Amino acid sequence: MAERPLTDWASGVWDCFEDASTCCYGFWCGPCLACTVSGRFGENNCLPLCDFCGPAVLGYCGIPLCVPPAVLSMRAAMRNRYDIKGSLCKDIAISCFCSWCAWCQMHRELKERKKTPVVINMQSQGFVSSQPAPVMMMPVNPAPGYFTNPPGVIVTSR
């Protein structure tokens, strides 16, 4: 099976001014943006809440959490599904130091993938007549036929 070529992200991590509506949405309601991205990608809408609630609960228990698990897993899954260049190491760094920017980048990526046109290749079919085939109608009691003989042939009946 041939491998598909790797592509770049539709936008960079810090390309907020390319789509200001996404970044404004993320700024005013980051959890809403993250839950929207998760749902549109096909995951549970509540998955990003692990990033918001998880560190508080684990910190209360004395367990430090450095990498937000939801943004990291979503970013790696998106790269894998869409064959996007990158590495897990880079995903970890972006998830740790700028998770909001990562959510915004993933939101822009999904918006770009959604508006990509789908090409349908249709082949033309041969001409098909929509009229029925002609039908010969014969009378029920045909009239007696009269035959003519070819020249030089005599037909007699007994």
Segments forming the whole domain that contains residue 82: 16-114
Round to whole Å and give the CA distance between 57 and 124: 62
| Domain-embedded: residue 56 | yes
pLDDT at 125 over 70: no
| Domain-embedded: residue 29 | yes
Q: What is the pLDDT of residues 7-32, one digit of tens each?
A: 999 888 888 777 777 767 666 777 88
When pLDDT is cut at 50, 70 and 90, the band that residue 53 belongs to is confident
Q: What is the pLDDT of residues 73-88, one digit of tens each?
A: 999 999 999 999 999 9
| Domain-embedded: residue 95 | yes
| Domain-embedded: residue 81 | yes
Q: Kindly state the DSSP code that residue 15 receives in the 8-state scheme.
A: -
pTM score, whole prediction:
0.64
Burial grade of 4 (CB within 10 A; 0-12, 13-18, 19 or more): exposed
| Domain-embedded: residue 130 | no
| Domain-embedded: residue 76 | yes
Number of domains in the chain: 1
pLDDT at residue number 74: 93
Start-to-end CA span in the chain (Å): 85
The type of residue at 91 is D
- Calculate the dihedral angle through the C-alpha atoms of 114, 29, 76, 82, rounding to the nearest 10 degrees: 10
| Domain-embedded: residue 26 | yes
pLDDT at 106 over 80: yes
